Structure 1
Amino acid sequence: MDQTSDISIVRNAVRTLLDCADDFFIMKQSVDALYNVFSRIAGVSPAQIGVDKDIILPSGKAISPSAAAHCLLEMKRTAVFLRGIHQSVLQKLNNRADKPVRILYAGTGPYGTLVIPLLPLFTPDKIQIDLLDINPASLEALQKLIDELQLNEYIGSVFCEDATTFTLSRNYDIAISETMLACLKSEPQVAVMQNIIPQLHPEAIFIPEEIRIDAALTNPKMEQDRLLYYENEAPPFRRIELGNVFTVNKKTLDIDRMQKIIEIPDEKDFPVLKLFTTVKVFGDELLSENDSSITLPVNFYDLRKKTAQHIVFWYVQGEKPYIESRVVRTPALYQTEIMNAL
């Protein structure tokens, strides 16, 4: 297939993804079209998962090129991020039409999934991208894609470095990094945000704008019936909302000071505490429960195995970041018990 055809496929696919709302059939067709072009040119596909390797960093796992390639196929995840980023670029262009919008994309993977499809919608004088990834194999594959699609005029610098320690050498209007799993487990999303956001101009946009994790008590049968429901009359459904346990955004980066205690009501019919991840990409573009692998609910605590009246939550960083918890006896003693747990 010639370059003109490939560019047309990419342009048409991304335009459809921006406009198709939640029409999942059309969304899947468009994502598949992007994948077919990108995988053929870059030479990387999810079929290679297990062959290429993840990179373990002091701040979490940088997934392999093939695993990163697979992220493109999560259609709503791809669509919502592309929509949010497209809106952020338009906003910046409206504010400064005389200069290109400068973007740093950290954690590109082999496809540059969150930016590369958008480039044919703009001219190089409107948008300029710096690319950052720690895996040289991903950057090599991405360069093939850029060359074949003739997008080099949009690309500034390419950095093979760790986004959690990278030092910015220029001002950016937008910084993008989606390096996460549900409940911010294993991957270095929080560490990337802690490093990059303080280096940005206060008016710069970081995408995603916010990640929040909320807790709720659930009834296992109601949860199962809701997922399996296909009839006209919905089955009874209820959760006991417990509130937010963790939020990270431009204003809440000092996670060492974030400990949240949750009171557990006596609700015997709702014995499983689940955590729910919501990703605010930009503006009204959100990924919520079950929209993608990064927002899958997580069974966190089973009150049938051990009762609790209060649970304290905090975030642990390191090679395997995760949300930790501890049952505390009384609210009056929880500060002491937290300090003993940390």
Structure 2
Amino acid sequence: MIDDKEQINYIETLLASDDYQTIVLQLQNIEHIYQQVSKAELIDSSWHQSSELTNGIGISPNDAMRCFQGTSRTAKYLKAVYQQVKRLIKQYPDRPVELVYAGCGPWGSLITPLLVMFKPQQLQVTFIDVHSTSLNSLKQIVNALQCELLVSNYVNLDATQYLHAKEIDLIVTETLYNGLHSEGIVSIIRHLARQLSEKGDVIPKRIVIDAHLIDMKSELKLLNSFDHALGQVPTKRQLLENRVFLGNMFELSKDVLAVIDAHQMNEKPSDNLPCKALFIPDINDEQHFALSTCLYLTDEIVLDEYENGITYPLCMSLSRQYIGKQVLFKYQCITPVGFIQQG
């Protein structure tokens, strides 16, 4: 059993702080507790096994657990979820907020530290994961937190196949790699967002993919001038000193997906989503074509470049035949998931 006063102190301190080292300490405190509670699951043979799904891979329980150590990512997600749940509780005072966490992993890292802050009549959480091992571990943590009454269901399923019994008020997921390659966040949000309530929302609210030509040698030199142990990363302005901005290529949000769905309503169902065309200028030998990823968890809380592995640039090959021309990409939602050149 976890000391609820201790847990509340950790999460309240984290939510109230913008100091990186303070946040690191609180996450380490929570991680230590979770390691102790879920330790028995580490002997399960499926702990290190990923799953190949139609719409992208489901990373292994072990890899999902390790994501907790991404300080900026975990802290910002927790702050965003807390803010959105508080907002929705005010919007729906007469019933619990229905939260669906897709790809929760063995710790439910982006939700479970917050459970001690709410009552069952305020919040009901559904955890979804394709790995039963993850859900077994997660149940131990929720039970140790004495928060069983806040969890309405544990669903062992591909989230793109899940139908919620009620309208969903908040979707939470972090099923992505940089440049939206390999994992299934686009398909997951596209499917679940169709089940949102009128005032419902998604975390992340928006994911913006921009295209650049990047001088990676100069950019790495810039990166090495920052102390990553203190959470320091370059600003957008500093990064653009070594880049040529080509344009916004793709944006993922419930509103964008609704427009795409409306456009494709009377067409043959497509696994490919449209992207904006890009003009490719001359490329020198030092430059790489790359996609940047920025997560707007809410309008105010942003996980920017280099704050986590999921927001590192994704370098892609680009034929020199496109120099001086427009190139069009499509986003492929089925495996292999990611952006594909159309010419």
Shorter-chain TM range is 0.7 to 0.9
Alignment of 1:246 with 2:250, yes or no, is: yes
Deviating more after overlay: 218-227 vs 47-56: 47-56
Q: Displacement, 1:42? A: 1.4
Cα distance in 1 for partners of 2:189, 2:226 equals 40
C-alpha distance in structure 1 between counterparts of 2:239 and 2:196, whole Å? 48
Aligned-pair CA distance for 1:317: 2.2
User: Which residue pairs with 1:12 in the alignment?
Assistant: 9
2:165 aligned residue = 169
- Pair 1:281 & 2:297 matched: yes
In the alignment of these two chains, the number of paired residues is: 320
State the Cα RMSD in Å: 2.6
User: Structure 2: how far apart are the matches of 1:115 and 1:235?
Assistant: 32
Which blocks of at least 5 consecutive residues in structure 2 are unaligned? 228-237, 261-270
Matched-pair contact (CA < 8 Å) for 2:217–2:286? no
Q: Which residue does the alignment assign to 1:115? A: 111
- Partners of 1:235 and 1:198 lie apart in 2 by 36
Q: Which residue of 1 aligns with 2:230?
A: none
Deviations 1:171-209 (A, max 9, x none): 221121221111111111111111111122232111111
- Gaps (5+ residues) in structure 1? 329-342
Q: Which residue of 2 aligns with 1:148?
A: 144
**2:272 matches 1:272:** no
Question: Which residue identity does 2:78 align to in structure 1?
Answer: L
What is the letter of the counterpart of residue 104 of structure 1? Answer: V
Q: Structure 1 residue 242: deviation in Å?
A: 1.0
Maintained 8 Å contact 1:217/1:270? no
What displacement does 1:119 show? Answer: 1.0
Pairwise CA distance, 1:270:
6.1
1:162 Cα deviation from its structure 2 partner: 1.2
Secondary structure at the counterpart of residue 3 of structure 1? coil
What CA distance in whole angstroms lies between the structure 2 residues aligned with 1:235 and 1:241?
A: 10
Moved more, 36-45 or 85-94: 36-45
**2:268 maps to which residue?**
none
Match of 2:279? 263
Aligned to 1:188: 184
Change (3 A) 1:31 1:228: same
After TM superposition, list the pairs within 5 Å mapping 1:98-137 onto structure 2: 98-137=94-133
Which residue of the other structure, out of 299, 308, 312, is the alignment partner of 2:323? 308
Contact 2:210–2:247 (CA under 8 A) maintained in structure 1: yes
C-alpha separation in 2, matches of 1:274 and 1:314: 15
TM-score, normalised on structure 1? 0.86
Once the two structures are superposed, the pairs formed by residues 201-216 of structure 1 within 5 Å of their partners are 201-216=197-212
Instruction: Report the Cα distance in structure 2 between the residues aligned to 1:154 and 1:67, rounded to whole angstroms.
Output: 26
Residue 135 of structure 2 is matched in structure 1 by 139
TM-score for the superposition, normalised by structure 2? 0.85
- SS of the counterpart of 1:323? strand
Once the two structures are aligned, what percentage of the paired residues are identical? 26
